[in-house]
Structure 1
Amino acid sequence: MTEMPRKQLPGHIAAALAGAGGPTDSAGQPWEGRSLPAEEKYHNFDTDDGATDARYAAALGRLLDGSGSEAEVVASLAQARVFIPIVAQLAEQTVGENGLVSDKESDMALVTVQAPDGRRALPVFTSSEALGSWHPEARPVAVYAARAALSAVAEEAQMLVLDPGSQRPFVVRRPAMWALAQQREWLPSYLDPAVARVLEDSVAETANPAILGISATAGQGIESLWDQKTEPSGRLVPGGGAGPELTVTITLRPGLDQATVEGVLHALQNYWAGNEHFAESVDSVQIRLRHPSPSP
């Protein structure tokens, strides 16, 4: 029987194995006599089993069956533990005396993804199993969801995506993400009376006779498609979509030309953008124009 030739190990693995198992650590300190006391608590999640937070799972279940709301799901994250995926990135290599290439420096980096609308998003996972299914090589780092939101802000991400690739993903858009990072209650813009007042004030401020009325409702962008694996057609659930989250319906006087309509929209949008509460509370807007039928 012919013996197959042995495959050569990659250089960085061979170098790591060559230096492993010695009597000292990488700093030259001996292992002998060192121990880790079992009673010492090293972080907040020592006894964590890696499962999804029960409060979040319950809130998500209520959203799915129609008895809950998007705001309740975000609120359930206030004290929830989640996992952030961290991956190693090689920063520098070196060649040892044996001629083998080894990793000299490596950095641990957060994983970010691009949302369908082009914005940057931080993937976050409610269980270690969900993270492992999404990226087997990523290291799960347990943090409170508020801390994950702070990390997303630091990475200049505009949203958190919980459990991407699963049957039940959930998107936390910028206003909710910032509220979570600041540990304060979040109210969706389509339910916020202050946002409605800004819209009404914008009409009064512009005093344009072409505008007959203005109103706000939840945008179709908050809907998310769930259960695609168990239900081939999928199901739209009102909550956790990527946006637009707010639909502003503007009723205009009939018979306006294109230039007049564009002027009305420009004036309104400038007013909204200049209002601090509106800018902070609204993630994305869809404008719907309505022209009432002329009276007979």
Structure 2
Amino acid sequence: MMGGDGNESKSRKQTERFQFGPWLLCATKSHILKSEGQDRENFEAQLELPQFPEMIFADNILRIEHNSGFGLEFSALDALKLVDAHTDPLKVAVSQEWKEARSDCEHINDVIKPFDWSYTTDYKGTLLGKPGAQLQVIPTEERIDIEKLKVREKIMFYEDLLLFEDELADNGTSMLSVKIRVMPTSFFILMRFFLRVDNVLVRVNDTRIYHEASKDYILREYTSRDDSVKDIKAPSHLLREPNEIVNHLSVRTEICEKLQFPKDSVESSSDNVQDSTKT
């Protein structure tokens, strides 16, 4: 990801670090990517999209890295790489309204080419590490124990990062965020893509990551839920509340995976975690 331009931008970047056994957990927060400048040009050059979300937090990154070198990272850039840059999956009337609302945009002629202007992404995180020394993705029947997560435990570390957001020219909202919480013997990550196209559709794509210190693998669950607004059996005010409306949406896709540690890695069995540090 691109860093800030100049000392002023760099001073706005803040990284919280937390050591969890053999894992270093890093959450970096910074300002919105500027609408012009070298950083913006560098960012856009890595994507095929003819338009971009209004608010992009290019330097907001969550990284979990094992001392053996493998791990996971969550970033706006990698999430936007998975947005369909060539077709408009929704194909609804609001698409034309969106184009008209942005008729004064510099690149509006390019927008005539269809693309997913809702910025829907099924991003589940980026694998870190050298080829052959990364987490191995294996389908599994094992599930994250949600009831166990509901048990009150001391929160050793917590961060909530916004990766991008767009109001769809006042036709709704599209937003991607990721949060992490660390308990004494485990950590849990939720990355959520939330989409609301007013009077048309509500969608929630969730990626859940869970790891217990005694295990040599991570569980990852991805679900995609959506429904037409007319089919949602819930009070209208809940359409703006991702945490509430998700329980009223139909599951369209579910993928459960075990992220197995590389064979030559050595997992620490320590249940203790050290203090967090700030830079």
TM-score range, shorter chain: under 0.3
TM-score by length of 1: 0.22
* Larger strand share, 1 or 2: 2
The structure whose Rg is larger is 1
Task: Give the TM-score, by structure 2 length.
Answer: 0.23
